[in-house]
Each structure stands twice: as C-alpha cells, then as structure tokens.
Chains A and B, each alone.
Chain A
Amino acid sequence: MAKVIVVTSGKGGVGKTTSTAALGAALAQRGEKTVVVDFDVGLRNLDLVMGAERRVVYDLINVVQGDAKLSQALIRDKRLETLHLLPASQTRDKDNLTAEGVEKVIDELRKTFDWIICDSPAGIERGATLAMRHADTAVVVTNPEVSSVRDSDRIIGLLDAKTKKAENGERMEKHLLLTRYDPTRAERGDMLKVDDVLEILSIPLLGIIPESMDVLRASNLGSPVTLADAACAPALAYRDAARRLAGEQVPMTIPGERRGFMNKLFGRRAA
C-alpha cells in the first residue's frame, strides 16, 4: 500500500530538499516505486538537487489545474527507473495550489507508487500545510541548533492539528531526522546532543545525518547523496533512515564517526 511522507521542518535551510532526494533515492534503490514531490511553489529546488532541472516541462500546478496529465509532468530519474520527480512550478504563485487539487494528485499518485515523498517549503503557511495535509507519516528535519529545534516543535504542533489524519482523530506518525550533526562538537559541549533534541521534541528518531562535505558535493553534481557516493557517511545514514521508514529494525549509529587521531593512535597501541 502506498505511503505518503512529508519532509518538513518549519525552518529553512536545515536539509529538507537534500533529505527528500536522499531518502527517495534510497527507497527507490530497494526496488520500490518512489516519487518525490516538490511543494515549494515559486522556489523549487528539488529538480536541481535531483539533477533534472533541464527536463522539467510540466509541473504540479499544471496538473492541479488540469493543464497537463500527471504522467506528462512526472520525470523519471535517469539513474534509477523506480525513482520519479514531480516538480513544483517556478513561475506560478502558491495560491494556485488548492486543497482539493492537491488531494486529487496525491490520490492518483497513490495508485501507482509505493512511496510518495512530499518536500515541504519552509514556514508554516499554505504551502507547508498543504504539503503535510495528506501525509501518513512526517519526517521532521532538525539541526542541533536552538532556532531549528524551536521551529520543529511548532511544526510538530501543526502536524497534530492541521493534517487530515489529525482531523479524523488518528495519530500522525512523526519521526525526527537530525541533520548536520557533528559528534565531535556535541561531545565537546558546543552542540546539542542527540539525546537533548530527542528529550525536547519527544518524537522517535529516524536517523542521524553527520555534517559532511559529501552533501554539498552531491548537490553540486545534481545527485541525491545516496546515489552520488553510496559509501560516504551521509549516504549510509540516509540509507539506514530509509530502511527504518520501511519498517526494518536498524541499530542507530552515527555513520562516519571516526575516532580522533590521538585516540586512534593510542587505541592501536593498546590493542
């Protein structure tokens, strides 16, 4: 059965689009039909991160307004045939998105795809509430930093109030994806630790993505980080997170966490 996921955060720049692309590619790599949907009308970027910016013909608004069929707007990924992108409009206004129109598109996507991953715009306005409205599960992307944690708390409140699930009295499943985490700085006491953020937001942890150069490199290349370099630390972390989303039990680790040079040196000596 199809599962609709919203990737949201409240605050901008914490890694929603990166995470949407990386999780989408990781799920598609499992052989499950996946579509990533950009809800950021007017400021679309998922096409760029996915490397499909030159292939956009029709977009979400065209489909909502009936100017194009869904199959015309969907872009199939060149690397993975199970991965698709539904881009947002760059020129139109977000007021063109209607609740009914979005519902129709999501219902149609549910018929063909196993995973529908909605990349929410930042903020708490129309675009963000429409992106979360029809979701079964939410991935709350948070940086270990005060303003991001505060905004995530606000978004969690909205997920429990303004979604279809919440209105039907059902429980909205929410997961925390902690991005840009630096274990060394957290250990030194200069960054909120995983447990601090978990205690404050009190939603289950989906994954910890380490701060890494590989993320920027992947977006430079126009490739989800899970496809750009499957062996790098953030790719491993996203792949584990995708497996947890699919219901697998995967032990929680901070991939790429290396012992310091001195530790390594002494550790080796002691051994």
Chain B
Amino acid sequence: MSLFSFLNRRSSAPMARERLQVLLAHERAQVGHSDLVGLLREEILAVIARHVQLDQDKVNVTMQRGENVSTLEVDIEIPVTASVRAA
C-alpha cells in the first residue's frame, strides 16, 4: 500500500502556492477598509432580525473565497409560526 500511495502522491507545494495566492489577494484588499463580506453578513442579518425573530442556531452563513469572485451564502430558516414584527 505504501508503495502505491507513494507513487500516486501528488506534490503538495503547488497547492500551498495556490491557496496562498488566493488568501493573500483577499487579505491585502482588506487592509485600509473593513472586511466587505463580513460587513454584508452582519447587515443582512440585522435587517432580517428587524422583521423576524431569528434563532441563531438556524442561521447558516458560509463563504467561498475564489480568485475573482467570492460568494456569501446566508441560509436562514424561518418557521411558519414566526411572529412577523410590524413591517
């Protein structure tokens, strides 16, 4: 097994290089102004919380940082019985 896994093993350095390039492009962009994605996440949640009682456990925020675009996925479970506050 060890022999075959050794033969199949792909080198890891290109992976390290690619991950760093993507990460640092984002971190460098954040210097000076605040984290845009983080800001969006907080404001979106605040707006929804104004109208619907939010259960923090039922809120799922995921983020994918890509080279050119990042996606922010906000998944909020709103129960049918949720008390809709005055709109």
Contacts and interface: CB of A to CB of B under 8 A. Distances in A.
Contact of B27 (A153, A186, A193): A153
Interface stretch (B16-24, B35-43, B59-67, B71-79): B16-24
A150 B24 contact: yes
A192 B24 contact: no
A183 B40 CA distance: 44
A89 B28 CA distance: 35
Nearest to B31: A157
B68 interface: no
A150 B12 contact: no
Interface in B25-67: 27-28, 31
Interface of B: 10-14, 16-17, 19-21, 23-24, 27-28, 31
A157 B13 contact: no
Interface residues of A, number: 17
6 contacts: A146-B19, A146-B20, A154-B27, A190-B12, A196-B13, A196-B17
Contact of A190 (B11, B20, B23, B27): B11
A188 B11 contact: yes
Given A188-B11, A189-B14, A190-B12, A153 B28 contact: yes
Given A149-B20, A196-B17, 6 more contacts: A145-B16, A150-B23, A153-B27, A154-B27, A189-B11, A200-B21
3 smallest beta-carbon distances between A and B, as pairs: A189-B11, A196-B17, A189-B13
A153 B29 CA distance: 12
A191 interface: yes
Secondary structure class of chain B's binding surface, majority of residues? helix
Contacts of A154: 27
Q: Report which residue of B14, B16, B19, B27 has the largest number of chain A beta carbons within 10 angstroms of its beta carbon.
A: B16
A193 B20 CA distance: 13
Interface of A: 145-146, 149-150, 153-154, 157, 161, 186, 188-193, 196, 200
A42 B19 CA distance: 35
Contacts of B11: 188-190
Contacts of B16: 145-146, 192, 196
Nearest to B17: A196
Contacts of A192: 13, 16-17
Contacts of B20: 146, 149-150, 200
B24 to A, nearest CB: 5
A190 B21 CA distance: 17
B6 to A, nearest CB: 11
Nearest to A191: B13
A155 to B, nearest CB: 12
Nearest to A156: B28
Contacts of A200: 17, 20-21, 24
A244 B13 CA distance: 28
